[in-house]
Amino acid sequence: MVHPDTQAIIDHYQFDRIPVEGTFYKSTYRAAQQAEDGTPAGTAILGLYTEYPKSVSCFHRLPYDEVWHFYGGDPLQLYLLKEGGEIEVVTMGSDPLAGHRVQFVIPAHTWQAGEIRAGGRYALFGCTMAPGFMGKDFEAASLEDLLKEYPTHEALLRRLSVNEDQTKMPEGYIG
């Protein structure tokens, strides 16, 4: 059953689900200025990870840096895949003195995923990009490929592989 606080946040922002990965999101800004290919100069979204209903971010990468901002709720964890089979774990939350990050930049072309930290109900965050996000730029990872390179992290990879091997957004999706 959805906790009333979580449902209130979902209803307040009228969140939708991002295709392929299922994260709750709301597009809040798309710059009017565009590149010749139609890519906006910048974009911003609100996002929500929840324990129930399950909302996570599958491993994916983007062609530009992505700036994450923590807004409220329980801490969330970002997972960045590194060379040599290592995974960097970044905790975002409201307590910087406990090591939480309130803002974090994920470099372009980095495989990333995220979820609410165990025991939490919801985490409200934002993501900004310049140039802006376009669905055509999203590339999700294949679980099979990730398991070959990161075999010691199988449980995490399986838990966050919610994309069922879909690697691209639907044709025409802009975000």
Report pLDDT digits (tens) over 27-76: 999 999 999 988 999 999 999 999 999 999 999 999 999 999 999 999 99
Instruction: Flag whether 169 is in a domain.
Output: no
Arithmetic mean of pLDDT, 84-113 = 97
Q: How far apart are CA 51 and CA 32, in angstroms?
A: 35
Instruction: Flag whether 41 is in a domain.
Output: yes
Q: How far apart are CA 148 and CA 36, in angstroms?
A: 38
Task: Give me the chain's average pLDDT, please.
Answer: 95
3-state secondary structure of 34: strand
> What pLDDT sits at residue 43?
97
Q: How many domains does the chain have?
A: 1
3-state secondary structure of 49: strand
Q: How far apart are CA 172 and CA 101, in angstroms?
A: 34
**Alpha-helical regions (H) of the chain:** 4-13, 143-149, 154-160
Instruction: Flag whether 63 is in a domain.
Output: yes
In which band, very low, low, confident or very high, does the pLDDT at 175 lie, cut at 50, 70 and 90? confident
pLDDT of residue 164 exceeding 90, the answer is: no
Q: How far apart are CA 138 and CA 141, in angstroms?
A: 10
Instruction: Flag whether 175 is in a domain.
Output: no
Instruction: Flag whether 21 is in a domain.
Output: yes
pLDDT of residue 163 exceeding 90, the answer is: no
Instruction: Flag whether 165 is in a domain.
Output: no
pLDDT of residue 84 exceeding 90, the answer is: no
Instruction: Flag whether 143 is in a domain.
Output: yes
> What pLDDT sits at residue 1?
87
